[in-house]
Structure 1
Amino acid sequence: MVQKSTHTAEYAAMLRLLVERRKSLRLHQADVAATLPFKQPEISKIERGERRIDVVELRMICTALHMSLPEFVAKLEERIAALHATESAADARAAEPSAKAR
């Protein structure tokens, strides 16, 4: 069964990056919402992964967070690459025979 994209580690990384960016700017959800066609409760739902966003909405949010969409995507790609590298290393360790089995 195919996993919904909102339930993936990659989507969670995207949301964490949005929240981290907002907090680094010392903005509240209401501050971000004031510049968008969303209200604060929608920003909260987006950040919690309860409301899915499309690329146009992501671009608007990035603009509200004083960053371009390409800049955000570059940072997200770095996060996802690191995530996959960590998963690959964990998989490799799990595949190794344990010291007790030797």
Structure 2
Amino acid sequence: MLVALPKTIRSAGQLALIQLLVDERKRAGLTQADLALRLRCHQSLVARIESGERRIDVVELVILSRAIGVLPEDLTKRVAVEVSDDERL
């Protein structure tokens, strides 16, 4: 019997990551447009990430973190506590 795996786009860990990115962007005094300029992308991409419409991979997390001015490992440590031990891909 096949068991459907949960989507991680709305998982507790993913939501925690999004909230951390938004909080850190704001703490850095950046608007979505400011961050987009640093990333050399459209503001709509930042909006899609922050709204949870688009997942980010590890490399993108590093790029986003650097653009915001935080260490990616600090973010991952903070997100790790939100991911349960029985979470599946």
TM-score, with structure 1 as normaliser = 0.72
What's 1:38 paired with?
A: 41
Q: Distance in 2 between matches of 1:27 and 1:38?
A: 15
- Which runs of 5 or more structure 1 residues have no equivalent in the other structure? 85-102
The alignment yields a C-alpha RMSD, in angstroms, of 1.5
Q: Which structure has the higher relative contact order (CA within 8 Å, separation 6+)?
A: 2
Q: Distance in 2 between matches of 1:71 and 1:12?
A: 16
Q: Higher helix share goes to which structure?
A: 1
Segments ≥4 residues shifted beyond 6 Å? none
State which of 21, 25, 28 in structure 2 corresponds to 1:25.
Answer: 28
- Which runs of 5 or more structure 2 residues have no equivalent in the other structure? 85-89
Q: Distance in 1 between matches of 2:55 and 2:77?
A: 20
Amino acid at match of 1:68: L
What's 1:74 paired with?
A: 77
Task: Give the fraction of aligned pairs with identical amino acids, expressed as a percent.
Answer: 35
1:57 aligns to 2:64 (yes or no): no
